[in-house]
Amino acid sequence: MIYRNTWAEINLAAIGHNIRQLKETLPEGHQVMTVVKANGYGHGSVQVAKAALDEGINFLMVAMLEEAIELRNAGIRTPTLVIGRVPPIHARVAAKHDITLTVFDLAWLQEISEEVFEYPLSIHLEFETGMNRTGISTERQLREIVATIEKLDHIHLTGAYMHFATADEINTVQYEQQKEQYEMMLGALSKLYPHPLITHIGNSAAGIQYPKEMLQYTRFGVATYGLYPSKDIKELDTVDLQQAFSLYSELIQVKKIAAGECVSYGATYCATEDEWIGTIPIGYGDGWSRKLQGFHVLIDGKKMPIVGRICMDVMMVKLDRAYEVGQLVTLIGKDGDAMIGMSDVANHLETINYEIPCMLTKRIPRTYL
Ligand SMILES: *Cc1c(COP(=O)(O)O)cnc(C)c1O
C-alpha cells in the first residue's frame, strides 16, 4: 500500500524503447547485457530486468551477489554476471543459483579450491586495461589463473571482459590503448584456453560511440534508463533515448506570507512582498538533497523555485499564485511542455545523472507504467 503522496513513476515502455534504439546501431547478431546493479539504477531491478527480457536481451549484470539473488528469487533465470568480488566462501551460493562470478586474482581461486560445490560455477575473467579498479594486469597472472582454473573441475571459465575509463569522452587515446591492451590479453587467453568464450568490453558510452567495435555483448546501464552517459555522447545524436524515471508529489499546504516573513530552518529565505508558498512532502530523508535549495519543481508546466532549507520530510516552493492542496508537482520528468531532466538535477548538485535515481531512497515508492 502507498499512503504517501510522493512517488516515482517508472515508464517501462521507455526502457523497451531505449533498448531497441541501442540495438539498432549495433551490428547484426550483437547482444545486449542489461545492467541492473544498484536496484536498476534506482528504477527497480526486477521490473527493469523483465522489461529488458521482453526486448529479447539474454544477459543481466549486477555488482553484488545479493542483487543477483534478488533476480533469481523473482523467478528470473537469465544468465547473470556479478562484477564485484564475491567473497570466496560465498561462491557456492552463486553456483547454486547459477550466477556467473567475476575472477581477477589467483588468491580467490586458491581459496575456492578448498570448497565443496554441489553445482558447477561459471566465471568470467576481468582484465585490467587502464581503469585500475579491478582486473588481471599481466600475462603472468593470467597464466597462473588459467592453470588453476584447469585444475578445478567445478569452475567453468565462460567469459572475459574489461571496462573503459574514458568512453564517455570523444575519441580518446586511452580508449584505444585500453582496447589494444584487452586484445593482447584476450589473444594470450585464447592460446592458454582454446575454448569459446563470451567477451564484452563496452558500457553505454562505448556502445553508443563505437557500436561497430564492441565484441559479443555490450553492457548497457545508464542508457537503458534513457540517460546519456555524458553531454559529449548525447551530442553525437545517434540514439534517441527517453528518460524512464519521473518523480511526482502534491502540494500539502498553500499559504500567503507577508513581506518580511521567512521560510524554514535558519530563516534563509524571506519574502520581499506578499507571496504564495507551497509545501511539498519530500526532503533529504528521501534522498532529496538539501543542496537542491535554489533548484525548482514544475507546477502547471511552470518552474517554481525551492525556497528556504529543505527539511528531512518536506520542502517549500514559491508559487506564482494560489493553488489547491493536492495540486500535482513534478520534481523530475515532464509537465506539459516543460521538463526536468535527470541531468538538470545532477548539474545543480554538481554530479552526474547516474547518481540521482540511486540517491532517492526506498522511502519513495516506485510505481510502474
Ligand atoms: C556500471 C557498469 C557498467 C554500465 O555502465 P553504464 O555507463 O551505466 O552503461 C558496465 N560495466 C561495468 C563493469 C560497470 O561497472
Identify the pLDDT of residue 300.
98
Span 13-18, average pLDDT? 98
Per-residue cell: 220? 548497457
6 pLDDT more than 90: yes
H-assigned helices in the chain = 12-25, 37-41, 45-54, 65-73, 91-96, 106-112, 139-151, 173-192, 204-209, 231-236, 342-348, 355-359
Amino acid 115: pLDDT: 80
239 close to 225: Cβ distance less than 8 angstroms? no
- Indicate the top mutation candidate among 34, 163, 245, 354 to test ligand 1's pocket, ranked by most ligand atoms within 8 A of CB: 163
Q: pLDDT per residue over 66-85, tens digit each? A: 999 999 999 999 999 999 99
pLDDT in tens, 315-326: 999 999 999 999
Q: If you average pLDDT over every residue of the chain, what do you get?
A: 97
The amino acid present at 67, given as its one-letter code, is: E
What digits encode the pLDDT tens for the residues 235-244?
Answer: 999 999 999 9
Cα(35) to centroid(ligand 1), Å: 7
pLDDT score at 114: 79
Q: Domains plus CATH for the chain?
A: 12-231 (3.20.20.10), 245-368 (2.40.37.10)
Centroid of ligand 1 to alpha carbon of 197 (angstroms): 20
Q: What is the pLDDT of residue 63?
A: 98
Active-site residues: which are they? 37, 265
CA distance 48 to 45: 5
Q: What is the pLDDT of residues 334-361, one digit of tens each?
A: 999 999 999 999 999 999 999 999 999 9
Decide whether any atom of ligand 1 lies within 6 Å of the 309 Cβ: no
- Mean pLDDT, residues 170-194 taken together: 97
Tell me the CA–centroid distance for residue 255 and ligand 1, in Å.
46
Q: Which atom of ligand 1 is nearest to the CA of 168?
A: 7
Cα–ligand 1 centroid distance for 329 (angstroms): 32
Side chain identity, residue 156: H
List the grid coordinates of 85.
568480488
Q: Which residues contact 272 (CB under 8 A, 6 or more apart)?
A: 259
Q: From atom 6 of ligand 1, which residue's Cα is the shortest distance away?
A: 221
Residue 89's pLDDT band (boundaries 50, 70, 90)?
very high
Is 253's pLDDT higher than 90? yes
Q: How confident is the model at residue 143 (pLDDT cuts 50, 70, 90)?
A: very high
What percent of the chain clears pLDDT 70, i.e. is strictly above it?
100
218: which DSSP letter? E
Read off the pLDDT of residues 91-117 as tens digits, 9 standing for 90 and up: 999 999 999 999 999 999 999 987 888
Ligand 1 neighbour 30 (Cβ under 6 A): no
